[in-house]
A = this chain, B = another copy of it.
Amino acid sequence: MSKKINIGIIGFGVVGSNTCLVLNRKKELFSRYTGIEYRIKKICDVDWKTEREWMPPEQLRTDNYSEIVNDPEIDMVVELIGKFQPAYEIIKKSLENGKAVVTANKFLLSKKLIELITLANENNTYLGFEASVAGAIPIIKGLRESFAGNRITSIIGILNGTTNFILSAMTRENKRFDDALLLARNLGYAENDPSLDISGADSAQKLAIISTYAFYHSITDDDFLIEGIDRIESEDIEFASELGYRIKLLAMAKRLDNLISLRVHPTLVPEGHMLSDVEDVYNAVYLEGDLFGRSLLYGEGAGGKAASSAVVADIIEIGKKISGRGHLPEIFTIESDIEIQPVERIETRYYLRFTAVDRPGVLASIARILGENKISIASVIQKKENPEHAVPIVMLTHRAVEKNVNNAIREIDKLSSVKNPTQKIRVED
């Protein structure tokens, strides 16, 4: 029953090797869900010396991408080398040869997106590029499909993890720009030459891709106002904070009637705004549309795993489209080995509010019963003193088991000093 999709991977770095790992490990799963066998036929890279977590057998390796682009048996090319050439050539040739293409190449797509989509359409094939922007955040599919009926009026993105990490470190730890950059480098969040990130160019490339789809217009990063974060001083972060703002590198596209404003620059965002809480290397995209109103998509913007999540999703979905069957079955097969946890086995932290008379020994009795039921107390509030009446005693527990908590409450509520049924609310940290 199974149809085969032969895949050629070009570029075997972090994202490439992660993608191969997932395709191999979950091969059986994907095949069950889609009826398709996703098979890696060839992997191209110029460096076969550096060890990766998984190394393909010899016969899968090549250093010549023509062996993939021109192989009539290969159905799908996954381009993960980045930059302009030879990626542009690889994608064009692959599409012209009728192959589907999946790419994470933001640099190339920020210049050539419409040309390549048109080429894919002309050759009755598909171009997937979810991984080119904001890692696994489904912003491309969101605009292409989920929000397709909308007129998009506003896009505000935190699209670069390196600069967001630097600004977070400057804000939280009062670091100077240079020190925050050094920290980002030491943690592997900044490249040796971080100028594309810091200058805002990387964010502009990503926003060009998003806004091309949001506004159905040919938008490249040449259309942008672009300012970087290197001129932000600690002083500015402090003054901003005093005024109730945080400084973020925002990539913005706003539509007023038919006029689009495109810009990337450090920006004061009010505390409490959802974008002001996007910290460290996380990305987020805030959108406004005439039907859905306001929406925010948030997630990991980079890293081999997050990018491979998007690459694999494109591979699965496009694989279904090109598999040649009339009907694309839902990804759905029941997993029989899954079990639903009984409620009594829930384990979490609890907020407990007891209502007890304010007499010596009451707190001790409650604590004793909790202890006997293996519930340990993280903090207690007992403010009001009133020996005449019942007062609230509030406790936050450490992790405990629902069954034990229920038993303890049953016992506590029987104490003569406890006047009302105990309030129990679970905590999610």
A interface vs B, CB < 8 Å?
Answer: 18, 22, 26, 30, 33, 114, 117-118, 120-121, 124-127, 130, 135-138, 141-142, 144-150, 156, 213, 215-219, 223, 225, 231-233, 235-236, 239-240, 242-243, 245, 247, 250, 252, 256, 258-263, 265-270, 272-275, 277, 289-300, 303, 305-306, 308-310, 312-313, 316-317, 321, 326-335, 337-341, 343, 345-346, 349, 351, 353, 379, 381, 392, 394, 396, 423, 425-429
Closest B residue to A121 by beta carbon equals B329
CB <8 Å contact, A332 and B216: yes
With contacts A145-B141, A147-B313, A312-B148 known, is A428 near B117, CB below 8 A?
Answer: no
CA distance A216 to B380 in the complex (A): 42
Stoichiometry (number of copies): 2
The 27 listed contacts between A and B (C-beta, < 8 Å) are A33-B148, A121-B330, A126-B330, A141-B146, A147-B309, A148-B313, A216-B335, A235-B392, A239-B351, A242-B381, A243-B351, A243-B394, A247-B425, A260-B338, A261-B345, A261-B346, A265-B426, A266-B425, A268-B351, A270-B429, A292-B309, A292-B310, A293-B300, A296-B296, A296-B298, A298-B298, A321-B328
Closest Cβ of chain B to A347, distance in Å, is 9
What are the 10 tightest A-B residue pairs by CB atom distance, in nearest-first order?
A: A136-B292, A149-B312, A138-B146, A291-B309, A295-B299, A124-B327, A261-B341, A296-B298, A268-B427, A292-B309
CB <8 Å contact, A351 and B236: yes
CB <8 Å contact, B353 and A235: yes
Closest B residue to A256 by beta carbon equals B341
CA distance A409 to B141 in the complex (A): 42
Closest Cβ of chain B to A304, distance in Å, is 9
B residues less than 8 Å from A142 (CB atoms): 138
B residues less than 8 Å from A125 (CB atoms): 327
CA distance A338 to B321 in the complex (A): 32
Name the one of B130, B269, B291, B299 contacting A428, with C-beta atoms under 8 angstroms. B269
B residues less than 8 Å from A242 (CB atoms): 381
